[in-house]
Amino acid sequence: MTEVEENKKVEGVMTIEELCREYWEPLYRFVYYKVQNREEAEDITQETFVKAISYIQENRTKVENVIGFLKTVALNVLRDRWRKYKRRGNTGNLDDISQGYAAVNDYSESTVQRDLILHALSKLNEKQKSCIELRILQGYTVPETAQMMGISEGNVRVLQYRALQRLSKILKSDDVD
Amino acid sequence: MNRRINKLSKYIDTLNEERKPKEHENKKESPEMEELFETVRQVRSLKDPKLPEEDYAEKLTTVVKSGQSKKKTKRTSKRTRYVGLAAVAAVLVFIIVLNTVGPFARPNIVQAMEQAFLQIGAYHGIVEVIETNAEGESVTQTKVEVWADKEGRYYVKGIEGWQKDLVTANDGETKWQIRHDDKEVKLFSAFPDPYGFTFEIGQEIEDAKKAEKVEILGDDVIAG
Residues B118-132 have pLDDT tens digits of: 878 888 888 777 777
Q: Is residue B151 part of a domain?
A: yes
For helices B201-210 and B108-118, the axis angle rounded to 10 degrees is 150
B96: β partners: B215
Do both B105 and B209 map to the same domain?
A: yes
Is residue B105 within 8 Å of residue B211, measured between CB atoms? Answer: yes
Average confidence (pLDDT) over A156-168:
97
Q: How many domains does chain B have?
A: 2
At residue B39 the predicted structure's pLDDT band, cuts being 50, 70 and 90, is very high
Using the beta-carbon criterion (under 8 Å), do B68 and A113 form an inter-chain contact?
no
Do the Cβ atoms of B61 and A7 come within 8 Å?
Answer: no
**How does residue A33 score in pLDDT terms, banded at 50, 70 and 90?**
very high
Element (H, E) at B221: strand B213-222
Residues from chain B contacting residue A87 (CB–CB below 8 Å): 152
Residue B22 lies in a domain: yes
Give contacts of A51 with chain B, Cβ < 8 Å.
Answer: 118
Distance from CA of A112 to the nearest CA of B (A): 12
Q: What is the pLDDT of residues A46-60, one digit of tens each?
A: 999 999 988 887 777
- The answer to whether the complex's ipTM is over 0.90 is no
Predicted confidence band of residue B73 (pLDDT cuts 50, 70, 90): very low
Please name which of B198, B97, B205 lies closest in space to residue B141, comparing C-alpha atoms: B198
Q: In degrees, to the nearest 5, what angle opens at C-alpha A82 toward C-alphas A78 and A86?
A: 165
The nearest CA of chain B is from the CA of A42 a distance in Å of 7
Dist CA A162 CA A159 (whole Å): 5
Mean pLDDT of chain A: 80
In a domain, B137, yes or no: yes
Asked if A150 and A131 touch (Cβ cutoff 8 Å), the reply is no
Collect all residues of chain A within an 8 Å Cβ-Cβ radius of residue B44: 36, 136-137
Using CA coordinates, name the residue in chain A closest to B56. Answer: A42
Assess whether B35 and B85 both reside in one domain: no
What is the residue-averaged pLDDT of chain B? 73
Q: Give me the pLDDT at residue A109, please.
A: 57
Domain of B34 in residue numbering reads as: 2-44
The residue among A37, A110, A169 with the most chain B CBs within 10 A of its CB, best to mutate, is A37
Is B75 inside any structural domain? no
Q: How many angstroms away from the CA of A87 is the closest CA of chain B?
A: 7
Residue B95 to chain A, least CA–CA distance (Å)? 21
**Residue B61, domain member (yes or no):** no
Cβ of A139 and B115 within 8 Å?
Answer: no
Do residues B189 and B137 share a domain? yes
Higher-confidence residue of B97 and B217: namely: B217
Domains and CATH numbers, chain A: 3-103 (no CATH), 111-172 (1.10.10.10)
Give the list of residues 6+ apart from residue B206 with CB closer than 8 angstroms, or none: none
The answer on B145 and B93 residing in a single domain is yes
Report the distance separating Cα B163 and Cα B141, nearest Å: 10
Residue B121 sits in the same domain as residue B191:
yes
**Does some domain include residue B51?**
no
Q: Report the DSSP pairing between strands B213-222 and B90-99.
A: antiparallel
Cα angle, residue A40 at apex, residues A119 and B4 outer, rounded to 5°: 60
Quote the minimal CA–CA distance from B150 to chain A in Å. Answer: 9
Same domain, yes or no: B30 and B128: no
Measured distance CA(A149)–CA(A127) in Å, rounded: 8
Of B18, B26, B67, the CB nearest to A38: B18
- Record: contact A164-B65, CB cut-off 8 A: no
Return the CA Rg of chain B. Answer: 21
Condensed to tens digits (0 to 9), the pLDDT of residues B135-160 reads: 777 777 778 888 888 777 888 888 88
Give A-chain residues touching B7 at CB under 8 angstroms: none
Whether residue A36 has pLDDT greater than 50: yes
User: Using the beta-carbon criterion (under 8 Å), do B42 and A117 form an inter-chain contact?
Assistant: yes
Domain presence at residue B165:
yes
Q: Report how far apart, in Å, the C-alpha atoms of B90 and of each of A99, B148, B154, B171 are.
A: 30, 11, 16, 21
Confidence band for B90, pLDDT divided at 50, 70 and 90:
very low
Question: Is B65 among the domain residues?
Answer: no
Using the beta-carbon criterion (under 8 Å), do A16 and B118 form an inter-chain contact? no
Mean pLDDT lowest for which of A65-69, B18-22, B169-173?
Answer: B169-173
